[in-house]
Amino acid sequence: MSDSVAHALQEAAHAVELQVADFESAAASTEKQSAVARSELLKLPPSRERKELEADRLQLVKLREKMAVLERKQTTKVKLNVGGHQFETSVDTLRSAGDSFLECLFGGKWIAKSDENDGSIFIDRDGRNFHHILFRDGAKAVLPSYANTL
């Protein structure tokens, strides 16, 4: 290779190195400017629309959490020990009467502890007629004719 060609290649390589260095410097400068711009944007007070969107997002997250809990409770079976009588039903059935002891117990207002041995929840009441409460028609229990003698 002639000296003039070698010299031209060296100059071209040096020119490319300078361009690469300039490009890297420009990229670093642009990245720094972007970071500064992002931090300045974060310092600005949020717009009303942004606040509303964030509030809606948080409300949606809470609603999704509640729905997941309700779905689990509706499909969850519960074992009850009512005065020595064993029952198995769904949380949905127990909560269906509305504002009641069972709604509070299985709706999350109270914490029900289950038995360590069989997993049942003990209710300290006479369980002989508890099935009438479970198989009620709507909000009213359908009691047998002899219920007034109990």
| CATH code (residue 126) | 3.30.710.10
pLDDT, tens digit, for every residue of 103-120? 888 777 777 788 888 888
Q: Percent of the chain, pLDDT > 70?
A: 78
Question: Does 36 lie in the same domain as 85?
Answer: no
Question: Does 22 lie in the same domain as 5?
Answer: yes
Q: In what order do the strands lie in the sheet with 121-123?
A: 85-90, 77-82, 121-123
Question: Does 86 lie in the same domain as 54?
Answer: no
Tell me what pLDDT residue 130 has. 83
Question: Does 50 lie in the same domain as 30?
Answer: no
Strand 121-123 and strand 85-90: pairing?
unpaired
Q: How confident is the model at residue 83 (pLDDT cuts 50, 70, 90)?
A: very high
Question: Does 139 lie in the same domain as 99?
Answer: yes
Tell me what pLDDT residue 148 has. 56
Question: Does 40 lie in the same domain as 52?
Answer: no
Number of domain units in the chain: 3
Tell me what pLDDT residue 116 has. 86
Question: Does 55 lie in the same domain as 32?
Answer: no
Name the DSSP class of 147.
Answer: G
Tell me what pLDDT residue 140 has. 54
Tell me what pLDDT residue 44 has. 66
Strand 77-82 and strand 85-90: pairing?
antiparallel
Residue 104's domain comprises 76-149
Question: Does 71 lie in the same domain as 59?
Answer: yes
| Kind plus residue range of the DSSP H or E element containing 94 | helix 91-95
